Amino acid sequence: MLTKNKNYDVVIVGGGLSGLISAFQAADSGLKTLVLEKGRHLGGSGNYVEGLCAVGTEMQQKKGINYTPSQLVQAELDYSHYEADARSLKEYFNNSAETLSWLHKKIGIEFSEVTKLGSGLMTWHLLKGQGKEQIQNHLVPSVKKAGGEIQTSISAERILKDNRGQVSGLVIKNEENNAEEAISAKAVIIATGGFLNNKKLVKEETGYDPSKIININSGKNTGDGQKLAWAAGAQRVAKGTLMAFNGYLNDPTNPAYKYWYSEMNTAAALQSLLFVNEQGDRFVNEQVTDNFANCGNVFLHQNKVYSIIDQSTVNYLTKQRLFKSIEIYYENINKPFSHLQDQIDNALMEKLPFIHKADSIEQLAKELNLSNLSTNLERYNYLCEKGQDDDFEKDSHFMIPVKKGPFYAFELGIGAFTTLGGLKTDLNNRVLSDKGTVIPGLYAIGADAAGKLCGDTYSPNVCGTCAGYCAYSGRIAALDALKLVNK
């Protein structure tokens, strides 16, 4: 037998951030609870999460931050052109401070500070030691202590329904030997973390070319939850939103996380220097990096993106200071990227595909076939000298001329953390059918359900909304399942 029992009140598909929080709420409420995790390890992409959105917390009050939930709802509605669901946002934000306090009091989750990222609001409540520390040290033990059963290397394959259309169980599979069996459940909660690692679904749901996208996540978010629910009659929502995360060094020979904290990646992608496209044309105010999702969007609409830096800028960044700090990653602007030159030299020595060096701009342009690069650089250097960006209104602080060879070009892909949505749910996170009716016993939470928080673009302006929603939706679904089971 793949599980300890054959019959459960609630089975949660996915042992990541939202699934484990939901499992704790279910088990703590007395439900016979099972978590299925297809990987060998728990935590999913949640292991990398830095912080959760909430409003009205003690941490914010201590810092004198007084946003109201309705202010945040309005910010999200405006940002999404009202594609986001006002009622869901309202419920989520109204309950967010209480959710964080519950995480702390009941599970022992520890938060270190409240901050922001880029141009966002101070709503990002950072987890001590990131998701991995809190999930592994507090969440997993709490689920077990509350009586929840957790099985790894077991995936959900199919949702079973009875002749009234009510969810009645699941077909599950042992990932090690492919053995399948059926278990029964009164409620199934889908928490598989979206479909970023499924190129076909990324293309179908977002319309973007997946070959440009560099996945910086667990690698296990393959859209299983969407496929399970669609096969069980769930509405396929046309809008799957990508949480794009800025430009990112495009190196197919190394795992994406290698560049996560690299000075070279930060210099090339996040210092708001000079970006050009496949023609060698500048296309945006490079301060767009202050909103990582906007930056992702503008990059996705180019065929190629290169960050162009000259030797004097490399020297400045390596020996003197940064042009801007990047919250929680590179906070001290006076601490230079002391490894930058070494990282560049190593990448060149290893002939990594994203980096190019030439003694002259003409040579660089020829090598990369950037027909307009020389002309555009002349113009850019002129604007830098003038101290005014007449083309894109970039702050003069970031108008750094590109004059002193050698010259470097870094090819940037688009980093991405997750997708949001693909399934439609009601306020209790019950999955809705094609007709908009509830599929009894079927729930979706976390990234699988978070599409309703945004439009076609994730909003980093209200920092941490996805992870905060993992906690909120996980609890709401478990509490609704409790009502269903007790009926």
Residues that bind ligand FAD (CB under 6 A): 13-19, 36-39, 44-46, 48-51, 155-156, 191-193, 216-218, 220-221, 224, 243, 417-418, 446-447, 464-467, 470
Q: At its nearest, how many Å lie between ligand FAD and the CB of residue 424?
A: 16
Tokens for 41, please give them. Answer: 């390890």
Q: Closest CB to ligand FAD among 125 and 394?
A: 125
Q: Closest CB to ligand FAD among 18 and 318?
A: 18
- Which residues make Cβ contacts (< 8 Å) with residue 179, sequence separation at least 6? 2, 173
Reference 259, options 199, 216, 318, 198; nearest CA is 216
Q: Closest CB to ligand FAD among 158 and 304?
A: 158
| Longest CA–CA separation in the chain, Å | 75
Q: Closest CB to ligand FAD among 28 and 50?
A: 50
Q: Closest CB to ligand FAD among 39 and 413?
A: 39
Reference 210, options 230, 228, 231, 195; nearest CA is 195
Identity (one letter) of the amino acid at 145? K
Cα–Cα distance measured from residue 271 to residue 377, given in angstroms and rounded to the nearest whole number:
18
Q: At its nearest, how many Å lie between ligand FAD and the CB of residue 221?
A: 5
Q: At its nearest, how many Å lie between ligand FAD and the CB of residue 441?
A: 17
- Pair type for strands 33-37 and 7-13: parallel
With contact defined as beta carbons under 8 Å apart, do 149 and 34 qualify?
yes
Q: Closest CB to ligand FAD among 131 and 280?
A: 131
Residue with tokens 């096969």: 231
- Which residues make Cβ contacts (< 8 Å) with residue 276, sequence separation at least 6? 282, 283, 305, 306, 308, 370, 373, 376
Q: Closest CB to ligand FAD among 270 and 317?
A: 270
Residue with tokens 């929603």: 469
Q: Closest CB to ligand FAD among 12 and 344?
A: 12
Residue with tokens 């869901």: 88
> What is the enclosing helix (H) or strand (E) of 413?
strand 407-423
- Pair type for strands 180-190 and 213-215: unpaired
Cα–Cα distance measured from residue 134 to residue 315, given in angstroms and rounded to the nearest whole number:
39
Q: Cβ-closest residue to ligand FAD?
A: 16
**Phi-psi region at 326: left, alpha or beta (left = phi > 0; alpha = psi -120 to 50):** beta
Q: Closest CB to ligand FAD among 285 and 473?
A: 473
Helix, strand, or coil (residue 285): coil
Cα–Cα distance measured from residue 90 to residue 95, given in angstroms and rounded to the nearest whole number:
8
